[in-house]
């Protein structure tokens, strides 16, 4: 059964406008889940502590852990064995992250020591105004978000006069060439912590640790003669987190759902997902199982629920690049504003199979949304997602989808301006069943 037909698309260009605001408000995974949680709270969802006993009554709930969020809605009449419909995504993006001893410098410049996170396109961080954001861990065990969203740092490129071969192939040493400057003078221990304490309204002595990262302070912007493109940071993969949050809220408003809709947004996808907040950790399985138990179920009900569950792993993919078309599979050239993409790899870098294709196609049909297929060129290694991890770890049928973009893993990426709301409409139709 294909399920209920949607009478109209819920989301339009206003959703893309809102994505730009979401990206600006979410310079780190911690800010992204806080922003998503704020929207869920306004929609009537309530936060559960993992240390508390849970109830299984009708309504929306969510769990926060670090840079991850799991949210779900229990509809009227949901039984313990009612299957889940899951939208999976990730909150992290490749960037520059502050080291434990941050204050450094050379040749009369004050600098911040950073470590490269994920598969970053290093050259895109050069000569770009950067802010600092993240979370501060306090001595009392609490954490505080901080966001200095203004030009503080810069990774200066060597002038062409001093590197005449720069345009013939720039080579950047990750240790020597990527350290940002943020002032003049000799480095002083505690300088950065004192600055961020003042930004957060704290005493520097109260800060025991931090998880901090640089971000581009240039705001998202529509691009092109007809404003048909959107340029901005962290689209991989906050575009999907934003769409999944909107879709879950819309599904919860629909009522009379045959499934329990879920949003699962994980951290650490860009470095393998192996953490307590990553897709390869136990967080999702624990939450789903506790939801079954809270509704009076047991192991048999959990197994039955999982057997009928489907996850759409939503992550960005590659639009065909006009300057490098030979790097793409000739028969599959996804275009911006062509709708979400179905990602296929027979070697299980993506989890999609034929039955998953049918589920995704049915959701797009109900939403009135066009869609495209993505396959990697056989001569180019294929990336991967949380999809295969989710399928293997939980035994859940999983389909890899997303939005086609250019400049993936750049400090600033590019998508079609229609694709964010087309994805949100498809995700809503999927969650509603």
Write the DSSP assignment of 385-427 as a string of letters: -HHHHHHHHH--EEEEEE-EEESTTSSSEEEESSHHHHHHHHH
Give the three-class secondary structure for 149. strand
> For 54, phi and psi rounded to 5 degrees?
-105, 145
Structure tokens at 216: 């581009």
Consecutive 10-residue averages of pLDDT for the chain (433 residues): 45 97 98 98 98 96 98 97 98 98 97 98 98 97 97 97 92 97 95 96 96 98 98 98 98 93 98 96 98 97 98 98 96 97 97 96 97 96 96 97 98 98 98 95
Which among 242, 277, 244 is positioned nearest to 262, based on CA atoms?
Answer: 244
Tens of pLDDT, residue by residue over 378-398, are 999 999 999 999 999 999 999
pLDDT of residue 1: 25
Tens of pLDDT, residue by residue over 7-29, are 346 899 999 999 999 999 999 99
Structure tokens at 100: 């434990």
Count Cβ atoms below 10 Å from residue 7 Cβ, excluding itself: 8
Q: Is the pTM of this model over 0.85?
A: yes
pLDDT of residue 9: 64
pLDDT of residue 44: 97
Q: Hey, what CATH class is 95-216 in?
A: mainly beta
User: What is the spatial distance between Cα 311 and Cα 261, in angstroms, rounded to a whole number?
Assistant: 10
User: What is the spatial distance between Cα 260 and Cα 291, in angstroms, rounded to a whole number?
Assistant: 10
pLDDT of residue 3: 35
Strand 229-232 relative to strand 413-416: parallel, antiparallel, unpaired? antiparallel
Binding site for Zn(2+): which residues?
A: 90, 161, 409
| CA 16 to centroid of chain Cα atoms | 16
Binding site: which residues?
A: 90, 161, 409
pLDDT of residue 255: 80
Structure tokens at 178: 């990527």
User: What is the spatial distance between Cα 125 and Cα 410, in angstroms, rounded to a whole number?
Assistant: 8
What are the residue ranges spanned by the domains of the chain?
Answer: 13-93+233-432, 95-216
pLDDT of residue 338: 98
All residues at 6 or more sequence positions from 428 whose CB lies less than 8 Å from its CB, including other chains: 6, 10, 11, 246, 247, 250, 251, 367
User: What fold does the segment set 13-93+233-432 form as a domain?
Assistant: Aminopeptidase (3.40.630)
User: What is the spatial distance between Cα 248 and Cα 16, in angstroms, rounded to a whole number?
Assistant: 17
* Cβ 407 vs Cβ 317: under 8 Å: no
User: What is the spatial distance between Cα 352 and Cα 54, in angstroms, rounded to a whole number?
Assistant: 33
Count Cβ atoms below 10 Å from residue 261 Cβ, excluding itself: 29
pLDDT of residue 256: 87
């Amino acid at each position: 059964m294909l399920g209920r037909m949607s009478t109209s698309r819920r989301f339009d260009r206003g959703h893309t406008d809102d994505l730009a605001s979401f990206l600006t408000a979410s310079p780190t995974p911690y800010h992204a889940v806080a922003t998503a949680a704020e929207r869920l709270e306004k929609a009537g969802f309530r936060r559960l502590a993992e240390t508390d006993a849970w109830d299984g009554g009708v309504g929306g709930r969510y769990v926060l852990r670090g840079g991850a969020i799991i949210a779900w809605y229990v509809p009227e009449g949901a039984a313990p064995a009612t299957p889940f419909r899951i939208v999976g995504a990730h909150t992290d993006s490749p960037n520059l992250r502050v080291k434990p001893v941050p204050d450094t410098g050379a040749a009369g410049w004050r600098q911040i020591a950073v470590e490269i996170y994920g598969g970053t396109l290093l050259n895109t961080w050069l000569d770009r105004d950067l802010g600092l954001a993240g979370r501060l861990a306090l001595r009392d065990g609490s954490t505080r978000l901080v966001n200095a969203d203004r030009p503080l740092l810069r990774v200066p490129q060597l002038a062409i006069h001093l590197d005449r071969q720069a345009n013939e192939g720039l080579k950047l040493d990750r240790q020597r060439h990527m350290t940002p400057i943020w002032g003049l003078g000799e480095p002083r221990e505690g300088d950065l912590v004192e600055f961020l304490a003042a930004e957060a309204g704290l005493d520097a002595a109260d800060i025991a640790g931090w998880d901090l990262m640089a971000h581009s302070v240039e705001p998202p912007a529509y691009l092109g003669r007809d404003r048909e493109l959107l340029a901005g940071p962290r689209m991989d993969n906050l575009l999907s987190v934003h769409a999944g949050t909107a879709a879950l809220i819309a599904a919860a408003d629909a009522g009379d759902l045959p499934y329990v809709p879920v949003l699962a947004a994980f951290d650490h996808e860009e470095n393998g997902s192996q953490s307590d907040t990553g897709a390869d950790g136990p967080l999702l399985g624990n939450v789903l199982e506790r939801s079954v138990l809270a509704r009076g179920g047991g192991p048999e009900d959990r197994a039955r629920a999982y057997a009928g569950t489907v996850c759409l792993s939503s992550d960005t993919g590659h639009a065909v690049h006009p300057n490098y078309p030979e790097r793409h599979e000739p028969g599959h050239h996804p275009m911006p504003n062509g709708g979400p993409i179905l990602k296929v790899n027979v070697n299980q870098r993506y989890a999609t199979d034929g039955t998953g294709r049918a589920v995704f196609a049915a959701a797009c049909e109900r939403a009135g949304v066009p869609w495209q297929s993505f396959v990697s060129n056989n001569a180019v290694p294929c990336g991967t997602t949380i999809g295969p991890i989710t399928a293997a770890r939980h035994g859940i049928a999983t389909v890899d989808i997303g939005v086609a973009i250019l400049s993936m893993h750049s400090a600033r990426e590019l998508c079609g301006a229609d694709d964010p709301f087309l994805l949100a409409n498809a995700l809503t139709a999927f969650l509603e069943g």
